[in-house]
Amino acid sequence: MNLHDFFNNTVLDITIEKVITFFIKAFLIYAITQATVSFTKYLFRRSQKRKKVAFLDKTTVGFIQRIVVYSLYIIGAAIFLSLIPGMEKVSSSILAGAGIMAMAIGFASQEALSNIIGGMFIVFAKPFRIGDSIKIDEVVNGTVSEITLRHTIIRSLDNRMIIIPNSKINSSTIVNSTIGEQETCSFIEVGVSYETDLNKAMDVMREEIMRHPMLIDRRTPEEKQAGVAPVIIRVIALGDSAITLKAWAWAASAGDAFVLKCDLLKSIKERYDKENIEIPYPYNNVIVKNRV
């Protein structure tokens, strides 16, 4: 049996020549697709290193890269389907573009599509970027770790990964502590008793705040010239058992503001104890009656 006769042999009514040709073409399609994907990833990595285009930041590059890579795999799958008898029309419709949208609408749920669209809004509108410190609906607080087609991953302050759908983020209130000015105001509130000399309590509070190394002076030249105090302290409430004093203390960042507040609550309490300034707290009197 010569080579020509061998290739003409049939297996399940298919010649060996067609079987070998099919696998060779399938391998070439796979190899070319993988090579194209690898080259695409290389181009995106190179664009991040150059940083010549303003809008191509880490967040945008990562998001667009996923879309391009997924599209390349879909095109590779469409070309592979064209090798299978009876699947040529499906392949042609996918390659034409209409098939891609039809498949997306047919196989993806409304929620998945809304997440993808939400991800695009996040990437291009840029309410936050990878690496930003954000707070969502006063519940989730952390650093943006990754933005995918369907969800955003946030690393919480206790180092946990919180995964939130993009569509939910787009309908939430977001506080971004990274964009804009980094300086943050920390509100220090302390209650004192009604018998307290308020001027003395405010002076002691101001002295402790002024001593802290993280405090920054936000006064304008005009305010300094007018004699405005570096730290503003006001009475904000007359409660049932305490008068509440509130101080506005500025720090260079949100993290510094948190440390500033924690340190000052401790130092003010210790200083009040030394100055015999009472910080009232609720207590209960229990009366026990002896019944004969």
Considering the entire predicted model, what is its pTM? 0.55
**Token digits for 191?**
């209650």
What pLDDT, on the 0 to 100 scale, is given for residue 86? 62
User: What's the rounded Cα separation, in Å, for the pair 161 and 141?
Assistant: 11
Identify the pLDDT of residue 246.
96
Alpha carbon 176 to chain centroid distance?
9
C-alpha torsion 116→118→123→127, nearest 10: -160
Pairing of strands 133-136, 14-15: unpaired
Domains and CATH numbers, the chain: 3-107 (no CATH), 126-176 (2.30.30.60), 184-274 (3.30.70.100)
Would you put residue 287 in left (φ > 0), alpha (ψ -120 to 50) or beta? beta
Measured over the CA atoms of residue 57, residue 62, residue 63 and residue 69, the dihedral's sign is positive
Using CA atoms in the order 58, 64, 68, 70, what is the torsion angle rounded to 10 degrees?
A: 90
Rg (CA), the chain: 33
Q: Tell me which DSSP letter residue 291 carries.
A: P
CA distance 86 to 17: 19
All residue ranges of the chain with pLDDT < 50 are 1-3, 6-7, 53-55, 98, 108
